[in-house]
Structure 1
């Protein structure tokens, strides 16, 4: 169901929109979680490290398309909020065309460059073969992942966060079953995990496409409507390029940090993989509130309801702080049990290092939450370069502090501490920008699109 977020209580709308995304993100994270748990428990710590060390590279190569998805989402949500359905449909066709073509290109690049990139990260020889195989299979089917994300992102931009959830649940459960069958039943190891993910994502993309084609009249197009609109595209680029750069910079930071982690050997690599997976899982509600307030802001900016944007920000901050307190307590108190999900036997050093990571980072979740909310409002308003500057700031502080702190008595713990240090400095950037009020002048619909795109006719 498409949802108009320009009417009604901001708190209720954002909450109702966030909950399906929250549940969906849990199942999305199950892809990474199940991969790590299955290989860690049934193949071994080296296999767990192989899956973990490949993740920053995967994230880097997909970051550009993810950023463009954010850019197209802002444009679509603002057109939808302005009740301009003709341009909304044009924007959808343009966004899908670009994202799917570019995703196919990135998949080919990823297959070719998997091994060279892993070598750049100082990946130990003992895990290089498995890590390369995992990455190449993943990139071979990356088009399916982006197809689902493109379809789901468009539905969310139109206020429907429930429908993508249903198909994601199906594919996530299928992924769990296939992981167990391929790894435990057939003994395919890391390759089995990669194939399970590819098949499950392919099914989710097909199901979402069929639903849109048959059940959403707004997104049913005639052949004559399948036209790439360059005016809308360049506006999406203007909005999406900062998000793409932001995602790319974040992934570069992940690769730099992963290289530093790799220098401490397989034990620290396994601990980092397990703890960072649980950390990502714990951050789900925080990031989903940020995405929800971005869509809320986009629609209300399109409707010229700036007063509701402020109300939405305040309501979201309150919900995020409450969520962060709950999650922080759970992670801090149950970190050991969480890490043990990924390994068998005692593996005391892996558990100890993983617990230390989670307890260090979880105390600062509220800071990360504020950063996500302010960034979400600015991105939804079209002020896209500020979230990029925020990421650059966080990245620079994190990398610099990590390299400084690992050479102190903290050793590898310096990597853990660099994460909240980066958040604490970076949150100042979007907070200042919001209170400056400059974001109010960045609306996409009022500015560039009306000038760039020819008047729509029914």
Structure 2
């Protein structure tokens, strides 16, 4: 395949016909690559959490939980617009308009690199105030500040790296981003213990060493990817007069902002709810915050099958709606529900049976946070079964372009329902109100999503073309619970 041939690049996506064949088999085959990519991305955060927990203890775990959740929120402000850029690039390649794809990536890099740099500078300056807003435990605050300030330095490089990877996938190249994602993961997780403990010639930086490894990994992967793009003369490179595309085009930027707003708002709602919850958890002390951070790491993997299946359902439903095959849409939804219940159910059972083993990867067997983490798991983990069904229903309705309904439902479930339950029940249940808020909000979301799917007007939307496959996948991958990862996507 010629590197510069857009027709060749877009052909594999064009041949992915999801309107034919057995539904469940096609659904699973489509979901598996998305699942694999999400696992690889999140594995990096989990490995780093293991290093921090093992070398530095519960206070450091609490610190990284606070810092990473803060980064999750700040990245969410711009990440939705990056995903919108990816969708536009994919559509441009589908029309064989390589120059238009270059205009989009130029506008995205030109606009959001400036935003990322500004956020990094302001984040460094106001990091103490951010931690105060979260009511970060006093014992963890110095560690959290040291970690957060260095992590802010990784934001411009990290955002540009992810933006380029997403753009390449939008152009039909999923292999190149995978290789450089592997490079970033290996560098980050491999360098963590050396910078934390000062092994060999490396300085002993403690918790700041974990963040330093992330900065180095992001920078190295970004530089390597840019060199590779130009060395292979891939279609998205900008040369000569094309470098003027880095000056944001007002019309393109307007489209990116418009398409990215639903995705950005959804991620902001999720991360804001997570930050509010973390602020309440922080009042319970360092051990509880550390236990919650570890539980969230495990929940990262627990929700991945549902997110992958939801993305597959959305993509399949979009193609079938576009082909006028509405009789298959309901079957796709039912298959998605049963598949996500089966996959998530197996993980819930395995985690319940081996919770101590799983948690001991992050916490020592005698850690005071261990019994708290086990209690959190037993109280809340099963709610991801409800969460999974909701994602499948959201995936179907989004396939016809209905994005406002799911956004409103998420807002209701994650803010007034979840936080309202906590404030009403906490005087009677204590900290258990925090953990029970997960099944309560998940049940609320499921009931509202089911009502919207069965009785809402999403089927009547006919004025817009159903979204492309890439758009369906990107929207579905923004719906997970906020967790300890720095990146807001799986």
- TM-score bracket for this pair, using the shorter chain length: 0.7 to 0.9
Partner of 1:254: 274
Give me the TM-score of the superposition, normalised by structure 1: 0.86
* CA pair 212-419 structure 1, distance change in 2 beyond 3 A: farther
Secondary structure of 2:136's counterpart equals coil
Partner of 2:132: 119
* CA pair 420-82 structure 1, distance change in 2 beyond 3 A: farther
Given that 2:67 and 2:148 are in contact with CA atoms closer than 8 Å, whether structure 1 keeps it comes out as: yes
Partner of 1:208: 225
RMSD across aligned C-alpha pairs, in angstroms?
Answer: 3.0
Runs of 4+, deviation exceeding 6 Å: none
Is structure 2 residue 342 aligned with structure 1 residue 322?
Answer: yes
1:193 aligned to which of 210, 218, 229: 210
* CA pair 267-190 structure 1, distance change in 2 beyond 3 A: same
* CA pair 403-312 structure 1, distance change in 2 beyond 3 A: same
- CA–CA separation in structure 2 for the residues paired with 1:218 and 1:438: 38
Is structure 2 residue 265 aligned with structure 1 residue 245?
Answer: yes
Is structure 2 residue 286 aligned with structure 1 residue 266?
Answer: yes
- CA–CA separation in structure 1 for the residues paired with 2:249 and 2:232: 24
Given that 2:386 and 2:446 are in contact with CA atoms closer than 8 Å, whether structure 1 keeps it comes out as: yes
Partner of 1:362: 381
* CA pair 161-414 structure 1, distance change in 2 beyond 3 A: farther
Give me the TM-score of the superposition, normalised by structure 2: 0.81
* CA pair 399-82 structure 1, distance change in 2 beyond 3 A: farther
Secondary structure of 1:198's counterpart equals helix
My pick for the range that moved more, 320-329 or 87-96, is: 87-96
Query: Cα deviation per residue 1:145-196 (whole Å; 9 max; x = unaligned)?
Result: 1112111222333444443222212221222210111123254211111111
My pick for the range that moved more, 34-43 or 227-236, is: 227-236
Given that 2:399 and 2:467 are in contact with CA atoms closer than 8 Å, whether structure 1 keeps it comes out as: no
Given that 1:74 and 1:380 are in contact with CA atoms closer than 8 Å, whether structure 2 keeps it comes out as: no
Query: Cα deviation per residue 1:21-54 (whole Å; 9 max; x = unaligned)?
Result: 3223223213321232112111111111111122
Partner of 1:415: 434
Aligned length: 442
Structure 1, unmatched stretches of 5+, are 447-458
Is structure 2 residue 323 aligned with structure 1 residue 305?
Answer: yes
Partner of 1:287: 307
Secondary structure of 1:383's counterpart equals coil
2:445 aligned to which of 426, 435, 439: 426
2:40 aligned to which of 27, 51, 61: 27
- CA–CA separation in structure 2 for the residues paired with 1:443 and 1:429: 25
Shift of 1:387: 3.4
Shift of 1:17: 4.8
1:107 aligned to which of 120, 126, 138: 120
- CA–CA separation in structure 2 for the residues paired with 1:105 and 1:217: 29
Is structure 2 residue 367 aligned with structure 1 residue 353?
Answer: no
Structure 2, unmatched stretches of 5+, are 1-8, 469-490
- CA–CA separation in structure 2 for the residues paired with 1:312 and 1:83: 31
* CA pair 148-130 structure 1, distance change in 2 beyond 3 A: same
* CA pair 236-374 structure 1, distance change in 2 beyond 3 A: farther
Shift of 1:263: 1.0
Given that 1:39 and 1:47 are in contact with CA atoms closer than 8 Å, whether structure 2 keeps it comes out as: yes
Is structure 2 residue 298 aligned with structure 1 residue 278?
Answer: yes
Query: Cα deviation per residue 1:33-88 (whole Å; 9 max; x = unaligned)?
Result: 12321121111111111111222211111111112123333434445556655544
Is structure 2 residue 63 aligned with structure 1 residue 50?
Answer: yes
Secondary structure of 1:272's counterpart equals helix
* CA pair 198-97 structure 1, distance change in 2 beyond 3 A: same
